[in-house]
Amino acid sequence: MSDRPTVWFHTFGCKANQYDTERIRQTLERRGAATVDDPELANVAVINTCTVTNQADANARHLVRRLRRRHPRLKIVTAGCSTSFREEMYRAMPELDGLVAGHDPEAVVEELDRLGLETTSGALDGPLERNRRGTRGWLKVQDGCDRKCSFCATRLARGASVSRPVDEVVEEAKRLAVHHPELVITGIHIGHYGHDLRPPATLARLCARILDRVDVRLRLSSIEATEIDDDLLSLLAESGGQLAPHLHVPLQSGSDAVLRLMRRWHTRADYRARVLQIADRLGSFGLGADVIVGFPGEGSREFDETRALVEELPYTYLHVFPYSARDDTVAASLPDRVPGDVAADRSRELREIAVSKAAAYEAHRDGTWADIVVEGHDDRLVGVTGDYLRVELGGAPTAGARFAAVLRRRDGRLVARAPAVEKVG
């Protein structure tokens, strides 16, 4: 007799991956599965993998082996980008019971049925109703990428850019907003949203439609600076914070020579000009970026160009990564590798600049108003502002609440007081 699935999920990687896990979870629950928070209580583990770096691949395989040692009767299934990009490697793992090369929830259902964990013939997959973990909800609007950055394995794992229809996204936003006061627009390349739809759509028009139909704060996930058009910029400036004043715009390098080796499609000047235009329009806003240091061909001059641009632009935080070669990418065959200790020193230098910039921005926000959403649970609640600052909370905050408050800087930390009556959701 077959067992019903009792599933423990683990997700590696980006917000798009986290969204995909939620779709898999919802589909399995609609087919009779139960979700648990402890692998000790599960009869199957579903691991959604990431392949952005070699370390991400290694982390997923390490978790598979650790689960097998600690829970010998547990069925273990992997899905996601790493499984797709390195399918044969995963199939060779004796610890693994099942594999889905990608993120298709129905394929996960089929894999569990094959393993004797029988699902029901419940409802087919539909709009995501809620994210089980977290106050903010992920709203994935597209998948895949048509760009050809020389260092990226994710585009090889995910395929071409495919946009979801506008009405489908809006309907899902309505359902998610019942449970989440903030929705994060996510995907693999959201700046290309709508290019493949007929008639074509744009990210700006999609966001405007959501805000017109749904009472929620929207936030953009990572988006290329040169793909923020004037309509989207106007919405950021004029929505009264409903489209959060926060942008994460990947830089990768501030050197044209390195950008060409990366096969990026913009120049240093293009990026700089657009960020300064955005800053001039928005004034005070959260600004983050990804930077890769130690890319093949990055000498002292090229790094100095990156550092100078980082110092000039109004970043409030940075994500800095030493270059990690990915097999089967163009960059993996490039000459002029940068020694690991040099890349580590450069990473440290940029992170120190980022810390200084973050402190200066927080000091600037002292005494100003902020739109705050409360995240977390129990005694571990934190406020997240529209411009992506995490603040300590006084008063009696409630997870999922949203309120406006004045920020105060105390002992080097920003603090806000929750009002007695809060707007939840």
SS (H, E, C) 239-280: CCCCECCEEECCCECCCHHHHHHHCCCCCHHHHHHHHHHHHH
Rounded to an integer, the average pLDDT of 299-320 is: 98
Domain boundaries, the chain: 6-114, 137-364, 366-424
pLDDT at 253 over 70: yes
How buried is residue 421: exposed, middle or buried, by Cβ count under 10 Å (0-12/13-18/19+)? exposed
Q: What is the pLDDT of residue 149?
A: 95
Give the mean model confidence (pLDDT) for residues 419-424: 57
pLDDT of 422 above 60: no
Q: Residues 77-129: pLDDT tens digits?
A: 999 999 999 999 999 999 999 999 999 999 999 999 999 988 887 656 689 99
Average pLDDT over residues 221-241: 98
Q: Indicate the CATH number for domain 366-424.
A: 2.40.50
Mean pLDDT for the chain overall: 94
* Amino acid letter for position 68: R
- pLDDT tier for residue 167 given thresholds of 50, 70 and 90: very high
* Amino acid sitting at position 59: N
Q: In the structure encoding, which two tokens stand for residue 411, read together?
A: 């002992």
Cα–Cα distance measured from residue 322 to residue 292, given in angstroms and rounded to the nearest whole number: 6
The one-letter amino acid at 85:
F
Confidence band of 425 (pLDDT split at 50, 70, 90): very low
Domains 137-364 and 366-424 share a fold: no
Write down the pLDDT at residue 344: 97
pLDDT score of 122: 63
Cα–Cα distances (Å) from 9 to 63, 242, 288, 374, in that order, read 12, 32, 29, 24
The sign of the torsion formed by the CA atoms of 85, 89, 92, 96 equals: negative
> Taking Cα atoms as reference points, which of 235, 154, 221, 151 lies closest to residue 193?
221
Residue 334 has pLDDT above 80, yes or no: yes
pLDDT confidence band for 298 (50 / 70 / 90): very high
CATH 3.80.30.20, domain 137-364, yes or no: yes
pLDDT, position 225: 98
In the structure, what pLDDT confidence band is assigned to residue 2 with cuts at 50, 70 and 90? low
Question: Which parts of 230-386 are beta strand (E)?
Answer: 246-248, 286-288, 290-293, 319-322, 369-377, 380-385
Angle between helix 230-238 and 268-282 (nearest 10): 30
**What's the pTM value of the predicted model, to 2 decimals?**
0.94
What CATH number labels 6-114? 3.40.50.12160
Res. 9: pLDDT tops 90: yes
Share of the chain above pLDDT 90, in %: 88
- Assess whether pLDDT exceeds 60 at residue 228: yes
Checking if the pLDDT of 191 tops 80, the result is yes
pLDDT class of 133 with cuts at 50, 70, 90: confident
pLDDT per residue as tens digits for the range 338-358: 999 999 999 999 999 999 999
pLDDT of residue 142 exceeding 70, the answer is yes
For residue 55, give both structure tokens: 């370390």
The CA distance from 271 to 192, in Å, is 17
Q: What is the pLDDT of residue 1?
A: 38
Q: At residue 301, does pLDDT exceed 70?
A: yes
